[in-house]
Amino acid sequence: MSFDVAYVDPARARSRKRRARRDVLIGLGSLAAFVLVVGLVVSQLPGWHVVQDTFFNVDEFVSSFPQLISAFWLNIRIFIVAEVFILIVGIVVALARTLQAPIWLPIRVVATIYTDVFRGVPTILVILLLGFGIPALDLQGVPNSEVLWGTVALVLSYGAYVAEVFRAGLASVHPSQRMASRSLGLSSWQTNRHILLPQAVRNVVPPLLNDFISLQKDTALVSILGPIEILRRAQIDTSMSFNYTPYVAAAVIFIALTIPMTRFADWLQARTQKQRRAAATV
């Protein structure tokens, strides 16, 4: 028998296949039984009908859904615009904190205070402060749109987190990379730009995605300023009918968007780890 072909005993291959099929059937059967039992128990509980009517009312769901979806479009726009600016703020602040020369001390101090302050203050507080505070100043030429200031607040709050993620990413690149770059005559700035940052970004993509999943949910916080995004819309519907199904519908819409992103982040993380393991064996 030649050694360059993988050889598996046909009988063993058949039995492996049989066992795999059996495992799938057992798993599915067990899951179905579990769902059935939980469903039966819950539906037999006294008061289930009230719960069902208040939270899972099909008519309410269907009637509120289209408006919720169109209100959600505002959340998505806030999310996308905020995300772009958060990335910019994060990278700039992370790089600012790496500046070593004494002349840059003020910039380093400002960047450090920024991350300390905005990581310490609850996002909702920043939103209230900017969203109500700045229009109250009544400054000329300064717009007073709630959506704008709510988005700015999200950018400031998340920018601080993302800056720290980037900073950790820069620190995760081995110091010998900086040494090799500087020995070629590249300046500190060129080393950051061409050697450290590209590798750092690659390392931090999975944690960044987690922050963005969280940002997507936090767009709902802007509702306290008044614009009719999905949460405010659900609140209005609920207060008109005294039925909480619109909240549940809003939750379903959020989940529909976050689950794919979460799975994508998991997949990306697994792939990065696999690549690193592969690279480590060379």
Partner 1 sequence: METRLRVDDVWKSWDGVPVLRGIDLSVASHQVVALIGASGSGKSTLLRCVNGLVSVDAGSIWLDESLDVTHEKTNLDDVRRRVGIVFQSFNLFPHMSVLDNVTLGPRKVLHRSRDLAREAALTLLDRFGLADKANGYPDQLSGGQQQRVAIVRALAMEPELMLFDEITSALDPMLVGEVLDSVAELKATGMTIVMATHEMSFAREVADRVCFLSAGQILEQGTAEQVLTDPQERLTRDFLARFLR
Using the rule CB under 8 A, which residue among 198, 214, 266, 270 binds partner 1?
198
Residues 157-196 vs partner 1: string with x where CB under 8 A? -------------------xx-xxxxxxxxx--x---xx-
Range 249-278, binding partner 1 (CB under 8 A): 278
Which residue's CB is nearer to partner 1, number 123 or number 203? 203
CA-nearest of 22, 44, 21, 40 to 32 is 40
Using the rule CB under 8 A, which residue among 21, 202, 263, 271 binds partner 1?
202
> What is the smallest separation between the CB atom of 245 and partner 1, expressed in angstroms?
50
Which residue's CB is nearer to partner 1, number 50 or number 279? 279
Residues 101-130 vs partner 1: string with x where CB under 8 A? ------------------------------
> What is the smallest separation between the CB atom of 184 and partner 1, expressed in angstroms?
4
> What is the smallest separation between the CB atom of 185 and partner 1, expressed in angstroms?
4
Number of residues that bind partner 1 (CB under 8 A): 20
Site for partner 1 contains 136 (CB under 8 A): no
Which residue's CB is nearer to partner 1, number 170 or number 221? 170
Positions in the binding site for partner 1 (CB under 8 A): 176-177, 179-187, 190, 194-195, 198-199, 202, 278-279, 282
